[in-house]
């Protein structure tokens, strides 16, 4: 097989090719490293390449197949977001404060990927500390969207999504504190799952913050590949006190199930936030098409309050607290748009933070009865497609559908489900008239990644997207 074929193969297809000896892990790794060398300079998705370590692991994987000892990801290339520690590999968090930081321990999920035989190609770009949903920072600069290299990839797992869309790797790991997996997945036309909070352990924490909001999760070009990676990463670990007990679920088998009789609701009016009409129309048509694969589809809305202010309160307060011991250095080195966070954090009171917790309760009081009626909620993932990026300070679109929006408003469809912890996934559901991807978000009941993945896979079978490539 040629390199042009390899770059678009799924992880599961690669594993089959390794088993049948049609391909070798070394051949695939070399092909993708060559592609990264050609494509990555234009999009800046991978910011720290680990080519030597990748080739060494690929050779180890070849021996594992020869000896019948292959792990679940043996020989499959994967990238790791630069907010997630990899032992011995520079991990900057997109910040000048950590420009030369080299972790002494792997994140739990990285340990599991290595044990499963995954070939780590490198670290992917992020906004500094993942604070906003536009991937740009003072260390590496912006990541550009492979579908239109003037536009943003979203964030904060922006490099991960761009790398998948550009054929640089079949798998990527992201994390999601307010939409950071789902937003770039939507803007880049790939699949991204935020599992139930605690499903994938999150440890260690070199930088404090997002403790009750962050979800580690898989990103891929196919739903089955995302399920495969979730199988590897999920499960209890004592180092993360929020991690859930091991689940008996095999997520890879779940995607094969049918969706007959499931009840789903669609809204493009969540928290009354404006949505680009074309995005709303594409997402609505995708949602209504679930009736063609056996679902009962309703137009309904849970009526939750707008928690944009609560998200801003939490992010700003935690940012100030996380850097209070080196405020002068942080004020000097942090990405300019975030520097006001340091001063603003002192404005908030204990009551303000308590009120965030109260509002979390309020939205759950709306959502749990809604999910007694419906198996899933469908929404547009973002309120607009990818927008033109002005490097060095832009952290959100300025206007959508004639309405001024801010950093929290434009991600209003994703962050509520970080507050509740429910599983939610973005999948590609169409292209705008100018050829930009649109994402459909599928939100499930608590602990029910299975239904989310089953619905996503059923839609993927009915409306295949994997042959649509930007480059």
Separation of CA 213 from chain center: 13
What are the CA-CA distances from residue 228 to residues 8, 11, 188, 213, 261 (Å)? 17, 8, 21, 24, 26
Question: What is the pLDDT, as a whole number, of residue 407?
Answer: 86
Question: What is the pLDDT, as a whole number, of residue 353?
Answer: 95
Domains recognised in the chain with CATH numbers: 3-462 (3.90.1300.10)
Q: What is the mean pLDDT of residues 93-103?
A: 97
Average pLDDT, the chain: 96
Residue 134 has pLDDT above 70, yes or no: yes
User: Strands 263-266, 296-299: parallel, antiparallel or unpaired by DSSP?
Assistant: parallel
Q: What is the mean pLDDT of residues 165-184?
A: 98
Q: Which residue has the higher pLDDT, 46 or 273?
A: 46
Q: What is the mean pLDDT of residues 193-210?
A: 95
H-helix segments, 212-304: 223-233, 251-254, 277-288
Q: What is the mean pLDDT of residues 336-348?
A: 89
Backbone angles phi, psi at 325, to 5 degrees: -85, -10
Q: What is the mean pLDDT of residues 358-371?
A: 98
Closest CA to 286 of 465, 55, 18: 465
Question: What is the pLDDT, as a whole number, of residue 176?
Answer: 98
Q: What is the mean pLDDT of residues 265-278?
A: 93
Q: Which residue has the higher pLDDT, 393 or 347?
A: 347
Question: What is the pLDDT, as a whole number, of residue 271?
Answer: 85
Residues with catalytic function: 81, 156, 180
Helix (H) or strand (E) holding 399: strand 399-400
Question: What is the pLDDT, as a whole number, of residue 406?
Answer: 84
If pLDDT is split at 50, 70 and 90, which confidence band does 1 have? low
Question: What is the pLDDT, as a whole number, of residue 78?
Answer: 99
| pLDDT tens by residue, 187-196 | 999 999 999 9
Question: What is the pLDDT, as a whole number, of residue 457?
Answer: 98
If pLDDT is split at 50, 70 and 90, which confidence band does 149 have? very high
For 160-196, letters b (16+ CB in 10 Å) and e give bbbbbbbbbbbbbbbbbbbbbbbbbbbbbbbbbbbbb
Three-class secondary structure of residue 156 per DSSP:
coil
Rounded Cα gap, residues 182 and 425, in angstroms: 6
Instruction: Specify the range with the lowest mean pLDDT, choosing from 210-219, 271-280, 285-294.
Output: 271-280
Residue 77 has pLDDT above 90, yes or no: yes
Residue 4 has pLDDT above 70, yes or no: no
| pLDDT tens by residue, 295-322 | 999 999 999 999 999 999 999 999 999 9
| pLDDT tens by residue, 439-462 | 999 999 999 999 999 999 999 999
């Amino acid at each position: 097989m040629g390199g042009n074929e390899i770059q678009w193969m799924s992880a599961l297809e690669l594993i089959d090719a390794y088993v049948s000896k049609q391909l070798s892990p070394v051949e695939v790794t070399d092909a993708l490293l060559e592609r990264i060398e050609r494509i990555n300079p234009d999009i800046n998705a991978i910011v720290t390449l680990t080519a030597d370590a990748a080739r060494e692991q690929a050779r180890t994987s070849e021996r594992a197949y020869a000896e019948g000892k292959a792990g679940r990801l043996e020989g499959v290339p994967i990238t790791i977001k630069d907010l997630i520690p990899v032992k011995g590999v520079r991990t900057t968090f997109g910040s000048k404060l950590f420009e030369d930081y080299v972790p002494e321990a792997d994140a739990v999920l990285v340990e599991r990927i290595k044990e499963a035989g995954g070939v780590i190609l490198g670290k992917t770009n992020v906004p500094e500390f993942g604070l906003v949903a536009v991937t740009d920072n003072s260390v590496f600069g912006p990541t550009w969207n492979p579908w239109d290299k003037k536009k943003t990839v979203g964030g904060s797992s922006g490099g991960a999504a761009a790398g998948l869309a550009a054929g640089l790797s079949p798998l990527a790991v992201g994390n999601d504190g307010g939409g950071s997996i789902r937003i770039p997945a939507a803007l880049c036309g790939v699949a991204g799952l935020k599992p139930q909070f605690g499903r994938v352990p999150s440890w260690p924490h070199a930088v404090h913050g997002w403790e009750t909001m962050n979800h580690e999760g898989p990103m891929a070009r196919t739903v089955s590949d995302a399920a495969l990676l979730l199988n590897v990463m999920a499960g209890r670990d004592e180092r993360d006190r929020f991690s859930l007990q091991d689940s008996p679920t095999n997520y890879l088998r779940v995607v094969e199930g049918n969706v007959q009789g499931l009840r789903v609701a669609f809204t493009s009016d969540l928290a009354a936030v404006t949505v680009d009409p074309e995005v709303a129309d594409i997402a609505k048509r995708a949602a209504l098409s679930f009736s063609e694969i056996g679902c009962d589809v309703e137009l309904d809305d849970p009526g939750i309050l707008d928690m944009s202010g609560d998200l801003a309160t939490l992010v700003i307060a935690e940012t100030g607290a996380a850097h209070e011991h080196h405020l002068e250095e942080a004020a000097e080195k942090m990405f300019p748009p975030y520097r006001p966070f340091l001063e603003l954090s002192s404005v908030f009171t204990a009551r303000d933070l308590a009120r965030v917790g109260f509002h979390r309760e309020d939205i759950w009081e709306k959502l749990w009865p809604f999910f007694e009626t419906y198996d899933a909620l469908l929404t547009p993932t973002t309120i607009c497609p990818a927008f033109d990026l002005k490097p060095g300070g832009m952290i959100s679109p300025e206007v959508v559908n004639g309405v001024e929006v801010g950093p929290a408003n434009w991600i209003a469809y994703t962050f509520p489900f970080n507050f509740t912890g429910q599983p939610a996934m973005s999948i590609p559901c169409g292209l705008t008239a100018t050829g930009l991807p649109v994402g459909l978000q599928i939100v499930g009941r608590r602990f029910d990644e299975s239904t989310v993945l089953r619905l996503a896979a059923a839609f993927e079978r009915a409306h295949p997207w994997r042959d649509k490539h930007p480059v």
